Amino acid sequence: MTQHGTQSGTQTGTQGSRRRALLSVSDKTGVVEFARQLEARGWEILSTGGTYQSIVQAGIAARQVSDVTGFPEMLDGRVKTLHPAVHGGILARREPGHLGQLEAHGIGTIDLVCVNLYPFRETVARGAPDADVIENIDIGGPAMIRSAAKNHAGVLVLVDPADYPVALQDEVSDAERRRLAAKAYRHTSEYDAAITAYLTGASDELPTALPETLTLNLTRAAQVRYGENPHQPGAIYRLGDATGPVIDAQVVAGKPMSFNNYADADAAWALCQELAAQEAALPGHAAVCVAVKHANPCGVAVAADVRAAWERARDADTLSVFGGVVAVSQPVTLEAAQATRGTFLEVLIAPEVTPEAAAWFAEKKPDLRVLVAAPAQGVSVLDVRPLTGGFAVQERDARPWDDLCPEVVTRREPTEQEWLDLRFAWATVKHARSNAVVLAKGGVTVGLGAGAVSRIWAAERAVANAGEKAQGSVLASEAFFPFDDVVRLAASVGVTAILQPGGAKRDPEVIAACNELGISMVFTGSRHFKH
């Protein structure tokens, strides 16, 4: 264990009992109370700029760093802590050789460095001019943090207000000091990565989202027992400061989440939210329910309320929904919760779960993970997938229906209901693994074929899944038809309208088959592969 005051110096450079803390923070959360408690414990406080003003105005004794360095802040505040009187006091090992050199130059040790950095990312996020963004690149702050982290055996380094209580302990362990040092280096690393991304993305030669150098700042957000399979270690990581609907969800009932639960819940919530955003296109259908199995939708429905939406989605494929993950777009009431009786589910995620429903789940379905989704904030537009030795990176497929220019290419136009079902089927197939084909009717999926290596096989799977329910349904495909085989199969089971991107060499043959069979076909001009 390492004592706080061990071999600490004073402002005169002599070794004494009074410890010194340097406080210079952009995020001033809790800093005044922290300074007050340090003062009560006999610490001498050094500070700069706005932090100094906040502390002094609160009646707390503090010295400006310029009093210690003998130099005023210069260059509009760009230079204030870059001085041997600061960095010498931080970097000196607490042993006679280094302490003797400090004393010879009248420099005292600094035993605590509490620093967080200029709001660079926040400045970028609010769309500030480039000059303002550049001015918010902190120089002295990272230097002090890194110095203190390097010398963590003798100096406490704090970059997060949540860690302030650590400094108020009588004793801080070596392991805790090392943890704080690692956190400090992560803090500066993420900061540098944000600057690099900005400067690289600012080039006119490169897309902003895909810079020449891409740094992913990942922090473990949750531990899981294992990955996809028991022999694979796994964990869940947060990207930067982003918050996600599943990563940050409130668990109101059930067991801890597994690796696969996170992946499937995220997929289910994404499709649920996309359909919910189309509410104007789904008249009378205020609630959406999406059931997912192994990252693919297996039952999707809209209805007037959550219970009805769930029942329709469940009945779309009762076999596949067993052991699945379900997302709903509206609050789950006790009545809706009780409707899940008899169906084994892994996860249910919703924007809200009433206390009565949560209590029912906890008693009747203790293994079901029941989540209240968190707001998504600061989410990256990038889709990153691993390769051996690297990653494939692209922008997410976030193109909405309203960004398309649907074109009816057959003699028969879709009816009003067919248009609604085509939009519904298009959103669903966009979230299914390629090759994918979806049959839908009346705001519910009646057949899905996903992850097939042939489009006709995907269509055959969807038709087999639908059975008699295919009669009067519509069909959506995430990519074009190379042949007219899917059209002829669809017509044989009673499909009345088809939506696909178009753009194949044999489009004229495909359109001719639709006209021959009385099917309406719409081209979207937009492919949506999902591998």
Angle subtended at Cα 47 by Cα 13 and Cα 39, rounded to the nearest 5 degrees: 80
Given 3-state DSSP classes, what are the helix, strand and coil percentages for the chain, each rounded to the nearest 5?
40, 20, 40
Whether 150 is a known active-site residue: answer yes
> How far from 148 is each of 6, 80, 91, CA to CA, in Å?
16, 17, 7
Distance CA 395, CA 296 (A): 20
Amino acid letter, residue 287: A
Structure tokens at 263: 């992946």
Distance CA 519, CA 392 (A): 39
44-47 and 235-239 strand pairing: unpaired
| Short-list 531, 488, 485, 489, CA closest to 504 | 485
H or E segment to which residue 142 belongs: helix 140-150
Structure tokens at 147: 């110095």
Catalytic residue among 98, 294, 469, 530: 294
Catalytic residue among 4, 28, 98, 150: 150
Hey, CA dihedral for 200, 201, 202, 204, is it positive or negative? positive
| Short-list 240, 150, 253, CA closest to 187 | 240
Angle subtended at Cα 90 by Cα 135 and Cα 177, rounded to the nearest 5 degrees: 100
| Short-list 425, 491, 483, 426, CA closest to 456 | 483
Peptide bond connecting 435 to the previous residue in cis, omega within 30 degrees of 0: yes
CA 143 to chain centre: 29
| Short-list 203, 259, 207, 202, CA closest to 236 | 259
| Short-list 22, 23, 167, 182, CA closest to 91 | 22
Catalytic residues: 150, 294
